[in-house]
Structure 1
């Protein structure tokens, strides 16, 4: 059968959905017996009744992880032995590409064209990269001199808690799980309640690849129950979080209330895209549109503020308007769809509220509608505002939707001032053919990643994370191993 909408609809109906927690190497219901619904935002249909884990389930997962860590069944393996298991796991992710892609498409409305070509292949590649890196990290010998030998060793922490959001359910889980497991930790993963399905299947594939029981546990449930319990648990050594700044602050508080566990937050963003008059405007428009409308704008590093030199503002507005109007929200199981629904109806309503506020504070260039398809009203038109003051809500707050705000600047100093006038500092983009300007502006921008003549540049070889209230956690690259390990000095006199 041709892989069209009909094919993926039929394939989706045939999926076996895992709906229990994964603890100690097997699926188990929540101790309370309670469940919650996970809903397809494209249709409003209930996909599954998922185990509603709470503090008791988190505790048994942590106990399982601690026992596995203490036994050395994983932590005691050589890096090469752990690498072999993780590489098998990466291949199983590739072997189950279609299933994993459909799970995230169904759970949060991501277009199947994206999950098949970007999300799942990217997750497998990042798992493979961390696996291949782990037996190439060397310990150190300190230059103490004399009859002393001081070894500086990298050792695992123990039990790592991982809390991930719903916008990239599979990818962001692997961003954190891969380095944490590679260095020898056990992991307790709490996926977002809106998107639990791919995490459960991922854990099952990990077991098939050879992960020992207890090394990876997945507890599904709500943030205020299971997530809070993970943050407060006294036997969790480290917690890695991606999500909102508000929740990131809560996890830091949980650490202070409990055992001072390390907390590594990667949080919100309001990233600027600066376009100077000498830029390639066609390329800038293409990438600026992708940078805000990809994944329905549900990207923490989305370039949601377009800062354009006043001499080219009308030109760029026209180019962006044409690109926005060419994107029509549609069925995410249709391979031709490039813009699906928001992850939930509730989130669509939230984004629509920001758009209404924008109508009061700027000029609506295009879009602005909340659309219904069948029983679901989770669809938002690509939306652009111009002539917006810097103190407007849509300029200051993270919308997390397909809403672009365009502002103008007169010179480089004003561009940098506008770009940095935000509590966030996750990403930024600079468009210019002048290499001196590109580098000098990048030096002045408060952002964890500055992309020049592109947007949202990303690779497992470079760290991803932010500054200010975008958090200080770093995913990807060799630096990702730092937050999941400790340095231990072993000093020998001879």
Structure 2
């Protein structure tokens, strides 16, 4: 984190300006004239008026991506040359890191230390990793009859539509854009209408890095119009989406109603975090549980929102989590000392508070939190919230809240813990705390989740895939495996 004071961040925020324009075919395009405001959850300030894309703007962006794929140089470049362009983009992101971190913090309420130290670190690492990977991939030549030669090659899939949410606006965009570009695809990115500013900067920096016009296009607008137009477009070959399960269903319908494009979905979660009595360090388990649910204001699809604790240690662990919740510093995202910033907007704050009220109505015990904070700032802040005595069948235990709300459930034996953990329509992630190696392996295999963390949470790097099971989606971001989403396998059989 740079040595930038709160006062200096405030000064920069006051001077913050960003011109609103789609980025299509390597240039800024104002669109039809319709706009929408981007409101900072930090203080309710309107940061910018951004073009509201209709079908015409989406068509223009897809047409630019189609031309760039069908006749442009990008898919035909040597892989190493594509890699060098991605590395130049990573360098530009590093050079503009403070500006981008400020943009993310202002548009979605993330603490500036997290925006700079986690969000920007992740997106820069993503473009560097895939930039270094492009010329290290190989095709195959299976052994076959002596009078034939068989080649199995991976080819870029075409035009990719990428639709990403507001909670990690750059990281999740990077997880889709970088492997797609590395594979030789072209991309139309539609960011959330809550957080389009950082995505527009990303598009402009890609052009500055020398990525050819039309290879990365950014259109801003809402889901029902711009997102739908992208999902239905017959010239989009692949659609990659991160967001809610409800919206994911729409994209599957759009694919069915158009060209049967492949749709890759990373959706919601209600992740269990299981703490057994033989956890190597119960205090560390409690500290990690608190960090996991309150990090990024709980606005994480992988957030460990269900803490499953053995009955013999439930009160001890719960009390430790409650204590940390009460000590957590909630405040101005631009204050480097802030640990939890603002929720993403007024409507989202209201939804989270509705879940809190429902939890109380269902009979769960509210141990701490649940009330709005700092209303005088004009921002949307909420106290870190912990419930225990939660009924496993309640909405509090089953529905994704996407906020700083933890449900604690006690269990008596390991079989019950696994049943509770899997008793959800989601299957994105899970945590397990134990000192027993056999238990770690058996429970990890039994949990229906795309990622299982043992004696940690939210750890990993770009070498490992990320994605879900069940209604948490399909396909994988990160790692070499992400390239499978953006490539087609071709067999060439040559009779000798």
1:376 to 375, 378, 381: 378
Residues 25-424 of structure 1: matches in 2 within 5 Å?
A: 25-30=26-31, 32-279=32-279, 280-361=281-362, 362-424=364-426
Q: Is the Cα–Cα contact under 8 Å of residues 329 and 337 in structure 2 kept in the other structure? A: no
Q: In structure 1, what is the Cα distance between the partners aligned to 2:58 and 2:79?
A: 28
Q: Deviations over 1:134-177 (max 9, x none)?
A: 11110010211221111101000110000000000011000000
Q: Deviations over 1:362-400 (max 9, x none)?
A: 000111112234342511110000001111111110000
Q: Is the Cα–Cα contact under 8 Å of residues 370 and 377 in structure 1 kept in the other structure? A: no
Q: TM-score, normalised by structure 1?
A: 0.98
User: Structure 1 residue 490: deviation in Å?
Assistant: 1.3
Q: Deviations over 1:199-237 (max 9, x none)?
A: 000111111111000001000000101000000001100
SS in 2 for 1:59: helix
User: Structure 1 residue 269: deviation in Å?
Assistant: 0.1
User: Structure 1 residue 491: deviation in Å?
Assistant: 1.3
User: Structure 1 residue 70: deviation in Å?
Assistant: 1.2
Which sections of structure 2, spanning at least 5 residues, go unmatched?
A: none
Q: In structure 2, what is the Cα distance between the partners aligned to 1:368 and 1:203?
A: 38
Q: Is the Cα–Cα contact under 8 Å of residues 38 and 46 in structure 2 kept in the other structure? A: yes
Q: In structure 2, what is the Cα distance between the partners aligned to 1:134 and 1:358?
A: 49
Q: Deviations over 1:54-86 (max 9, x none)?
A: 111110101000111111311110100000000
Q: Is the Cα–Cα contact under 8 Å of residues 113 and 335 in structure 1 kept in the other structure? A: yes
Q: Is the Cα–Cα contact under 8 Å of residues 43 and 373 in structure 1 kept in the other structure? A: no
Q: In structure 2, what is the Cα distance between the partners aligned to 1:478 and 1:334?
A: 37
User: Structure 1 residue 439: deviation in Å?
Assistant: 0.8
Q: In structure 2, what is the Cα distance between the partners aligned to 1:269 and 1:481?
A: 24
Q: In structure 1, what is the Cα distance between the partners aligned to 2:389 and 2:287?
A: 21
User: Structure 1 residue 16: deviation in Å?
Assistant: 3.6
Q: Deviations over 1:273-302 (max 9, x none)?
A: 000001110110111111100000000000
Q: Deviations over 1:175-207 (max 9, x none)?
A: 000000011111000000000000000111111
Q: Deviations over 1:99-148 (max 9, x none)?
A: 00000000000000101111101110011101111111100102112211
Q: Is the Cα–Cα contact under 8 Å of residues 18 and 201 in structure 1 kept in the other structure? A: no
Q: In structure 1, what is the Cα distance between the partners aligned to 2:3 and 2:69?
A: 47
> Equivalent residue for 2:473?
471
User: Structure 1 residue 413: deviation in Å?
Assistant: 0.2
SS in 2 for 1:374: helix
User: Structure 1 residue 2: deviation in Å?
Assistant: 6.2
SS in 2 for 1:189: strand
Q: Is the Cα–Cα contact under 8 Å of residues 161 and 230 in structure 1 kept in the other structure? A: yes
Q: In structure 1, what is the Cα distance between the partners aligned to 2:475 and 2:223?
A: 20
Q: Is the Cα–Cα contact under 8 Å of residues 427 and 456 in structure 1 kept in the other structure? A: no
Q: Is the Cα–Cα contact under 8 Å of residues 17 and 47 in structure 2 kept in the other structure? A: no
Count of residues in Structure 1 that have an aligned counterpart in Structure 2: 493
Q: In structure 2, what is the Cα distance between the partners aligned to 1:29 and 1:52?
A: 9
SS in 1 for 2:141: strand
User: Structure 1 residue 473: deviation in Å?
Assistant: 2.4
Q: In structure 1, what is the Cα distance between the partners aligned to 2:382 and 2:130?
A: 36
Q: Is the Cα–Cα contact under 8 Å of residues 80 and 135 in structure 2 kept in the other structure? A: yes
Q: CA RMSD in A?
A: 1.0
Q: In structure 1, what is the Cα distance between the partners aligned to 2:47 and 2:17?
A: 11
Q: Deviations over 1:216-270 (max 9, x none)?
A: 1000000101000000001100000000000001000000000000000000000
User: Structure 1 residue 485: deviation in Å?
Assistant: 0.4
Q: In structure 2, what is the Cα distance between the partners aligned to 1:61 and 1:77?
A: 22
Q: Deviations over 1:5-46 (max 9, x none)?
A: 11001112333413110001000112x210000001110010
> Equivalent residue for 2:6?
5
> Equivalent residue for 2:436?
434
Q: In structure 1, what is the Cα distance between the partners aligned to 2:126 and 2:118?
A: 12
Q: Deviations over 1:278-327 (max 9, x none)?
A: 11101101111111000000000000000000000010011001110011
413 and 177 in structure 1: CA distance in 2 versus 1, 3 angstrom threshold:
same
SS in 2 for 1:161: strand
Q: Deviations over 1:318-364 (max 9, x none)?
A: 10011100113200000000100101111011000000111122000
Q: TM-score, normalised by structure 2?
A: 0.98
